[in-house]
Amino acid sequence: MSKFLHQLAAVLFYLVGASFFAAYIFLRNDIGPQWAAWWMQVADIPFIAVSIVYGGLSLYLSVSGSGSKLLPWLIGVPLAVVFVVLVIFNFWLV
């Protein structure tokens, strides 16, 4: 199951990352700048989530040889904290 989620997260990571790259290029070249800016504002949280899932699963699959029950918690909890901090910074009013 974790191998399938890793592959799914990889596909989503590359698709959303490529869309961010394309939106940045469109924004810099004034090709639909309002839509590019909108996409970069709306899709940042999903991109962060997919990145954390992909990175966490990559780390878990690379070190999960012993079958420890503590290992998913040691990887998942810090990644969840990082995600929450990034979401808070994203919506922080300046």
Spatial separation of the C-alpha atoms in residues 36 and 28, rounded to whole Å: 9
Residue whose pair of structure tokens reads 């690379």 in the numeric block:
62
Q: How many CB atoms lie within 10 A of CB 20?
A: 16
Q: Please tell me the pTM assigned to this model.
A: 0.86
Q: 16-66, pLDDT tens digit by residue?
A: 999 999 999 999 999 999 999 999 999 999 999 999 999 999 999 998 777
Residue whose pair of structure tokens reads 């699959």 in the numeric block:
61
